[in-house]
Structure 1
Amino acid sequence: MSASESTAEHRPSGAQPSAQDLPTQDPTANAPSPRRSVRAAAGIAALAAIGPATWGTTYVTTTELLPPDRPLLAAALRALPAGLILLALTRRLPRGDWWWKAAVLGLLNFGAFFPLLFFGAYRLPGGVASTISAVMPLLVAGFGIGVLKVRPTRRTLIAGLVGVVGVGLLVLRGSAAVDATGIAAMLAATTLMALAVVLSKRWGRPEGVSLLTLTGWQLTAGGLVLAPIALTAEGLPDHFTGANLAGYAYLGIIGTAIAYALWFRGIERLPASSVSFLGLTNPVVATLAGLLLLGQTLTPWQLGGLALVLTSVLLGQSRRA
């Protein structure tokens, strides 16, 4: 007879069992296993990476499909229609301090970022523009110190430097043109996006508001800033070709509404430093697009750069579930 059976036998009838008599439960029995948590985080990261992966096609789309020399118009038509569509689908407006928070994020992510991005895309080869954007993980780490009070680890800094070197080897060529104003525009755009990542992580998402709703707020805010400026400064072309319409539709629906919803989901559920490294898929896709659509080839140095970029993305993911 076991000790518990002996105790139960001598307990008076109707008495409640003591704490010692109750079966013990493992407090971690219902907790997700580390392997399951890592698998879930990997799935979130994979979906979030779709955003910068589609952005890698922005350069070839801009140069091959859009009207020339209209970066403001391209930015406005990419942001405002997508934002209005999402608002019509979700039918919800900001409340309280989210009016100004959505406006700030909309300006950083779209109102200021998009025109700078298209300006750089018009004036720089896609490879040069992608190399500049590769510094975003380092910028996120710097902003994280002041905004999130999180100091970057040595692993994060090493991964960021490896990513910059890898992207440089991947996309730069000796004949790459260097335009000072284009470089300044891309650096400013990358800085704004890094700040938006950190602020999005700090502010989170209003309770009961979907990611599509939050994305629609920001796209509409940024688009409303861009539209009057674009119409005043650049105006509309004499006519839109079928290629122009296809390019704007692709950038607005696939490269903006869907891509940013997945990107914001990654920011919400992953560490800011981890999600910033997913942006390095942008130059990888930009290079692959050049291979498939423009007939470019890869040198051994570029293959080495591709390996370094992928290594940087893996190193940049947090080891904590």
Structure 2
Amino acid sequence: MLSNRVGTLLLTALAPAVWGTTYLVTTELLPPGRPLLAAVVRALPAGLALVAVTRRLPRGVWWWRALVLGALNIGAFFALLFVAAYRLPGGVAATVGAIQPLLVALLSSGLLGERLKPRTLIAAVAGVAGVSLLVLRAGARLDGLGVAAAAGGAVVMATGVVLSKRWTSPAPLLATTGWQLVAGGLLLLPVALFVEGPPPAPTGTNLAGYAYLAVIGSALAYALWFRGIRLLSPTDVTFLGLLSPLVATVLGWLALGQELTAAQGFGAVVVLGSLVAAQGGRGRGPRSTHPLPSTDRPTAGTTSSTI
């Protein structure tokens, strides 16, 4: 049981690790000033491909559930992330976003009946501190709307993670992943056209970057993320999201020659320590996170959701 859980954690951790490469891919391969276009291309083609491969469409309540989850995990999250990125330094946005594990722990306690442990709360606070040391710079300016957008992004993503655990689907994981990618991409498409205008003609380099984001950053990464939500506690899964700023920082140092300070190194240690602490004491696996009955829950269904 323990080895299976560790394997599931490691596979799930690949998703936020991959998302940590997004900054490098965006800055080096994609056209500048088009983050919403990148979000649409990242979500919509991958979702359509998964729906085409699985040949499954939502049924019954899953039409609106897929729309809600797609909006939370993809559409609203990316839109708020876009606002935060434009109005805040990256370190501030990442630090505010690091409150997500704490939010998921609180929501899981209220909606899923999970016991809120002091260890989890301490690890969540330590995670925010570690990310701030890792990415926050002295003299970083604060913008009220930007901070609100970053906090809103953490709230909608945390809500999406918890609802993904609460709601189950009789369809395969890849199908439900595809539904939500399509829903999020369709919601983002008119926003991207309104804010950024028609997309420019892509170069070969642009196409390579978009292909990476769609295939690796969405289809593969979100499938692994939602699989983790199905098999693990949402709180355990969301702590793994702290790996994204860690991977982004390491890649900036290795690939872009950015400076890595002693404070950042200490922040990385704190982040990893919070991840380990959050997963501790669960060797026998999490107890059921569905204490409340659902009238449409299948007897042998899957739980799936999308950041």
- TM-score for the superposition, normalised by structure 2: 0.86
Letter in 1 for 2:75: G
Does residue 134 of the first structure (1) align with residue 98 of the second (2)? yes
Q: 1:279 to 1:238 in 2, by over 3 A?
A: closer
After superposition, the C-alpha distances for 1:28-83 in whole angstroms (9 at most, x for unaligned) are xxxxxxxxx11110110111111111111222333333223333322211111111
Report SS of the residue matched to 1:280. Answer: helix
Q: Distance in 2 between matches of 1:78 and 1:105?
A: 17
1:79 equivalent in structure 2? 43
1:97 equivalent in structure 2? 61
Letter in 1 for 2:202: F
Q: 1:232 to 1:170 in 2, by over 3 A?
A: closer
Does residue 63 of the first structure (1) align with residue 30 of the second (2)? no
Alignment of 1:157-196 (within 5 A): 157-174=121-138, 176=140, 178-196=142-160
After superposition, the C-alpha distances for 1:187-220 in whole angstroms (9 at most, x for unaligned) are 211111110110011113x23x221111001001
Letter in 2 for 1:256: S
Q: Distance in 2 between matches of 1:65 and 1:88?
A: 28
Q: Distance in 2 between matches of 1:59 and 1:257?
A: 18
Q: CA deviation at 1:171?
A: 1.5
Q: Distance in 2 between matches of 1:179 and 1:252?
A: 31
Q: CA deviation at 1:150?
A: 2.5
Q: Distance in 2 between matches of 1:71 and 1:242?
A: 18
Q: 1:308 aligns with which of 259, 270, 273?
A: 270
Q: 2:236 aligns with which of 264, 274, 290?
A: 274
Please, what is the CA RMSD of the aligned residues?
1.8
- Structure number, greater radius of gyration: 1
How many residue pairs are counted as aligned between the two chains?
283
Q: Distance in 2 between matches of 1:299 and 1:292?
A: 13
After superposition, the C-alpha distances for 1:101-147 in whole angstroms (9 at most, x for unaligned) are 11110110111112222343444444333222211110101212321
1:293 equivalent in structure 2? 255
Q: 1:313 to 1:219 in 2, by over 3 A?
A: same
1:199 equivalent in structure 2? 163
Does residue 227 of the first structure (1) align with residue 189 of the second (2)? yes
Q: 1:171 to 1:118 in 2, by over 3 A?
A: same
Report SS of the residue matched to 1:76. Answer: helix
Report SS of the residue matched to 1:112. Answer: helix
1:256 equivalent in structure 2? 218
Larger deviation, residues 105-114 vs 125-134: 125-134
Q: Is the 8 A contact 2:37 2:199 kept in 1?
A: no
2:18 equivalent in structure 1? 54
Q: Is the 8 A contact 1:103 1:218 kept in 2?
A: yes
Larger deviation, residues 209-218 vs 232-241: 232-241
> Identity over aligned residues, as a percent?
59
Q: 1:235 to 1:73 in 2, by over 3 A?
A: same
Structure 1 stretches lacking a partner, 5+ long: 1-36
Q: Is the 8 A contact 1:113 1:193 kept in 2?
A: yes
Q: Distance in 1 between matches of 2:79 and 2:199?
A: 17
2:297 equivalent in structure 1? none
Q: Distance in 2 between matches of 1:66 and 1:123?
A: 20
